[in-house]
């Protein structure tokens, strides 16, 4: 009887530059790529050669990949890295300044160590019993690793449930999960096979990214098998086992930054995308849609609700009860140009819904079918799918001709009328049959194996259409579905959530999961999209949470036909309007955080433990979040609460935004939480950029101020914000500036410094700076003039004159 060789014997067979090859006598191979001190890639090839497609994920520090993808062994964008190799009889050891990788020649088992504070820590080991599939079981891709006690697993995108993925399993198979449970539903809309492992005992961790387009599954310790000990695993339906190990000593944020860098630079979008965006399906579904849309603008003025954009739902494309992408219903919108211009005159941009599937009776279906632009069945007919209330076929974005057709339609049907942006929706590409074939840029492939790629290419084509139409403006677009690299193109949200207090609580965790997976420009449908109308308390609490997220849109399709909008409950309209104004006061801080995401790959939202990894109390799966490094936000996520208990991470003092009162870290406190005053605490040493101009719907204004919390002892509080015109691409050629603010604390004095840098879009000679009123030390200014000081609530308001720079 033949013996199954489950442990092939490997030997080093090639070594050139940053690339090492190990080959077994059975023909299988393992390739190692030393990409940086903190990144090593492992490619496992059961047949000795690549079987998967190119990659559209890897774009180190770049804005994009080639549209047809990047060759798997293309190392452009990576710098030469110094490392050592020791090839002994039993094992190969590769060591960088941060990682030590040991590969056993017998079986190819990998173990990983990370250097922290001069000590090597073992952080990951392949499972000794069958870590990889070298063709023993089936054609799928497997990776089994040992699981250590007490590990936290954070990431995998917008997963339902707790932020820590330990002891759960998750499937990545993009699906239209309308009305999902934010606590239990799986799978959901996005495909991001990356997570961070954090080991609290040593304050050390790492990230793992599996570069695959395949439907895949992660088991994070839910499965148990007596033969193998404690383990977790990854399984993909096809392709190659191609994974990246990213060292993250000291803080889990290091792995998040490096993964974001590895997969491309986040888009720098226009500032108006941070404003309130109105939306509801009911307006465009109405027979008098243009009139109903006009009423929204009137109501914004009536209730003094600030608004920058409106997401135009797909009812504008209807013929009867069905929706046909790029078709304008002229009965509902008899004068498209006047409709769009009417919104623009009030400073409100339109973001139009577009979908990638053509129903079989779409007016353009025959033309598109004959041109070969659809995903096809093996016999040549369109690959039919269920889409909303009809059968249709998906466009094939792996065909360059389809991309050109799509861009032309976006420009001719939308952008030429003044529509500012595209809302890429229902783009999960739910293709289940293996008989559907995609063009594959000239190398046809099963469409089932490239669903997430179709989603990515759709949003890329929409972005490129906007760039071609208005090359001097930054594109703004959103997408519901997506995968690794989507942050290069779009803002996103957590899909069609269900109205409940539970959703509010778990949407917070979903947003943190996305941010810790490299996708920071996110939000949720405020108030809930599907299900009953939110009760007044739930609606106001959801607004009070949503104002802190990069995407702030109130959107709904309520069962009873009601509409989630700021004035839906007259008794609470003032509180909602005030909360939206608070949002606009925070926009300079949010804009700076998105700039830091773009320029330095910093996540905008962070769980407390990511910012305070050495505080064990921050490991609890709470309902709080850090907005950047300086602002702790504690939303109310339970009914009937008038106060909010919040734990303050140790090692810092914290100051209430509303009262100026200071609290010591390491304690749990209870603060008042009225509807229009969400709990916000500023970290010692933090600087929060604000817009303190009086805000009204008819006349928005912008005036910069800064809240600074100096150190109680010695230290420097330092921060600032980026400034540009907010919309154009002129920042690329130097038309951008920033404010730099610092307060150096000594035992006797606070030394305040404010300076301009670069090209500022507007002149402002007097700048308010707020410090806690409990801070009694005198303020000295070196490069600015202190012209006024007064007490303002719990704050000392300093007004300084800044010389023109």
- pLDDT tens for 485-502 read 999 999 999 999 999 999
CB neighbours (10 Å) of residue 61? 12
Give pTM, 2 decimals.
0.97
Is the pLDDT confidence value at 3 over 60? no
User: What pLDDT sits at residue 699?
Assistant: 78
- β partners of residue 531: 558
In angstroms, the CA 448 to CA 760 distance is 49
Angle formed by the axes of helices 336-344 and 289-303, to 10°?
A: 10
Q: Which residue has the tokens 């990776």?
A: 143
Overall average pLDDT of the 273-291 stretch: 95
Is the pLDDT confidence value at 5 over 70? no
In angstroms, the CA 263 to CA 724 distance is 26
Q: Residues 642, 774, 777, CA angle at the centre, nearest 5°?
A: 160
CB neighbours (10 Å) of residue 707? 25
User: What pLDDT sits at residue 783?
Assistant: 86
Is the pLDDT confidence value at 129 over 80? yes
> Cis before residue 397, ω within 30 degrees of 0?
no
Which one-letter DSSP state was computed for residue 382? B
Q: Is residue 422 classed as helix, strand or coil in its secondary structure?
A: strand
In angstroms, the CA 442 to CA 15 distance is 33
User: What pLDDT sits at residue 388?
Assistant: 86
Name the band, by pLDDT with cuts 50, 70 and 90, for residue 4: very low
In angstroms, the CA 598 to CA 271 distance is 13
Name the band, by pLDDT with cuts 50, 70 and 90, for residue 149: very high
Q: Are 240 and 274 in contact (CB under 8 A)?
A: no
User: What pLDDT sits at residue 695?
Assistant: 86
The residue that leads in pLDDT, 724 or 698, is 724
Is the pLDDT confidence value at 302 over 60? yes
The residue that leads in pLDDT, 431 or 6, is 431
Name the band, by pLDDT with cuts 50, 70 and 90, for residue 6: low
The domains located in the chain, with CATH, are 271-354+402-429+449-600 (3.20.20.80), 703-801 (2.60.40.1180)
Q: Are 795 and 660 in contact (CB under 8 A)?
A: yes
Name the band, by pLDDT with cuts 50, 70 and 90, for residue 174: very high
Q: Write out pLDDT tens, residues 422-474.
A: 999 999 999 999 999 999 999 999 999 999 999 999 999 999 999 999 999 99
For 137, residues 6+ apart whose C-beta sits below 8 A from its C-beta are: none
Q: Are 105 and 25 in contact (CB under 8 A)?
A: no
User: What pLDDT sits at residue 804?
Assistant: 79
Instruction: Return the closest-CA partner of residue 426 out of 528, 526, 497, 495.
Output: 495
- Considering the chain, what is the average pLDDT of its residues? 96
Q: Write out pLDDT tens, residues 637-667.
A: 999 999 999 999 999 999 999 999 999 999 9
The token pair at 534 is: 């939110």
User: What pLDDT sits at residue 20?
Assistant: 98
Overall average pLDDT of the 524-535 stretch: 97
Q: Write out pLDDT tens, residues 362-385.
A: 999 999 999 999 999 998 999 999
Q: Which residue has the tokens 């190398």?
A: 443
Is the pLDDT confidence value at 805 over 70? no
User: What pLDDT sits at residue 792?
Assistant: 86
Helix, strand, coil share (%) of the chain residues, nearest 5: 20, 35, 45
In angstroms, the CA 156 to CA 217 distance is 10
In angstroms, the CA 413 to CA 420 distance is 12
Provide the percentage of residues in the chain whose pLDDT is more than 70.
Answer: 99
Q: Write out pLDDT tens, residues 238-260.
A: 999 999 999 999 999 999 999 99
Is the pLDDT confidence value at 352 over 90? yes
In angstroms, the CA 57 to CA 699 distance is 43
- β partners of residue 376: 382, 437
Q: Give the helix ranges, DSSP H, for 489-571.
A: 501-515, 536-546
Name the band, by pLDDT with cuts 50, 70 and 90, for residue 389: confident
Torsion sign (Cα): 367, 372, 373, 374: positive
């Amino acid at each position: 009887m033949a013996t199954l060789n489950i442990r092939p014997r490997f030997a080093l067979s090639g070594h050139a530059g940053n690339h090492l090859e190990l080959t077994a006598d059975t023909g299988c191979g393992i390739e190692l790529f030393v990409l940086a001190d903190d990144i090593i890639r492992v490619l496992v090839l059961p047949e000795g050669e690549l079987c998967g497609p190119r990659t559209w994920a890897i774009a180190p520090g770049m804005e994009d990949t080639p549209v047809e993808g990047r060759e798997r062994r293309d190392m452009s964008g990576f710098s030469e890295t110094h490392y050592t190799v020791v090839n002994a009889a039993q094992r190969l050891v590769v060591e960088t300044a941060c990682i030590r990788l040991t590969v056993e020649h017998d079986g190819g088992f990998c173990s990983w160590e990370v250097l922290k504070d001069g000590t090597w820590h073992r952080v990951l080991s392949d499972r000794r019993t069958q870590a990889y599939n070298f063709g023993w079981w089936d054609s799928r891709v497997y990776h089994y690793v040992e699981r250590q006690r007490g590990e936290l697993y954070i990431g995998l995108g917008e997963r339902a449930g707790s932020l820590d993925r330990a002891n759960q399993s998750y499937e990545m198979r993009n699906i239209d999960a309308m009305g999902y449970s934010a606590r239990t539903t799986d799978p959901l809309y996005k495909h991001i096979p990356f997570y961070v492992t954090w080991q609290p005992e040593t304050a050390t961790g790492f990230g793992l990214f599996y570069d695959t387009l395949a439907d895949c599954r992660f088991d994070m310790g839910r499965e148990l098998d007596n033969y193998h000990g404690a383990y977790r695993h990854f399984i993909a339906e096809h392709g190659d086992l191609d994974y990246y190990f990213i060292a993250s000593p000291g803080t889990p944020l290091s792995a998040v930054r490096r993964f974001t860098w590895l997969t491309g630079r986040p888009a720098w979008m226009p500032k108006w995308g941070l404003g309130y965006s109105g939306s509801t399906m009911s307006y465009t579904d109405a027979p008098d849609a243009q009139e109903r849309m006009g009423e929204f603008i009137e109501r914004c003025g009536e209730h003094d609700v600030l608004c920058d954009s409106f997401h135009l739902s797909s009812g504008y494309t209807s013929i009867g009860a069905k929706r046909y992408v790029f078709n304008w219903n002229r009965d509902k919108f008899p004068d498209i140009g006047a409709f769009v211009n009417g919104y623009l005159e009030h400073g409100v941009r339109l973001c139009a819904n577009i979908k990638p599937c053509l129903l079989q009776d779409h007016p353009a279906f025959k033309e598109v079918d004959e041109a070969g632009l659809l995903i096809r069945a093996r016999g040549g007919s369109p690959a039919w799918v269920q889409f909303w209330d009809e059968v249709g076929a998906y466009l094939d974005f792996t065909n360059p001709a389809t991309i050109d057709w799509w861009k032309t339609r976006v420009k001719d049907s939308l952008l030429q009328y003044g529509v500012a942006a595209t809302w890429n929706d229902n783009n999960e590409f739910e293709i289940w049959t293996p008989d559907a074939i995609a063009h594959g840029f000239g190398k046809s492939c099963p469409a089932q194996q490239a669903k997430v790629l179709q989603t990515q290419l759709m949003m890329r084509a929409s972005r490129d259409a906007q760039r071609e139409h208005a090359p001097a403006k930054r594109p703004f677009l959103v997408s519901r579905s997506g995968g690794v690299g989507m942050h290069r193109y779009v803002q996103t949200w957590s899909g069609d959530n269900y109205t409940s207090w539970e959703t509010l609580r778990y949407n917070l965790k979903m947003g943190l999961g996305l941010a810790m997976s490299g996708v920071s420009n996110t939000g949720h449908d405020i108030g809930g999209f599907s299900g009953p109308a939110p009760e007044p308390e739930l609606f106001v609490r959801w607004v009070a949470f949503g104002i802190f997220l990069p995407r702030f849109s109130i959107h709904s399709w309520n069962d009873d036909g009601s509409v989630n909008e700021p004035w839906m409950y007259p008794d609470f309209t003032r509180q909602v309007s005030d909360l939206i104004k608070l949002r606009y006061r925070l926009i300079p801080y949010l804009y700076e955080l998105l700039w830091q995401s773009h320029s330095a790959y910093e996540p905008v939202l962070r769980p407390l433990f990511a910012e305070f990894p050495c505080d064990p109390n921050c490991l609890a799966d709470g309902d709080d979040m850090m907005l950047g490094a300086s602002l702790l936000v504690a939303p109310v996520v339970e009914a009937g609460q008038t106060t909010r208990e919040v734990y303050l991470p140790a090692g810092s003092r914290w100051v209430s935004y509303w009262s100026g009162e200071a609290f010591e870290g390491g304690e749990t406190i209870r603060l008042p939480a009225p509807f229009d005053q969400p709990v916000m605490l500023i970290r010692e040493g933090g600087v929060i950029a604000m817009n303190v101009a009086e805000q009204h719907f008819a006349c928005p204004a912008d005036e910069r101020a800064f809240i600074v919390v100096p150190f109680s002892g010695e230290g420097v509080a330092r921060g600032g914000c980026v400034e540009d015109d907010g919309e154009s691409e002129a920042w690329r050629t130097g038309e951008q500036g920033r404010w730099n603010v610092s307060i150096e604390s000594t035992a006797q004095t606070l030394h305040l410094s404010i300076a301009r840098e670069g090209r500022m879009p507007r002149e402002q000679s007097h700048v308010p700076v707020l410090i806690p009123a409990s801070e009694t030390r005198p303020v000295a200014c070196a490069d600015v003039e202190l012209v006024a000081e007064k007490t303002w609530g719990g704050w000392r308001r300093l007004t300084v004159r800044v010389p023109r720079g």
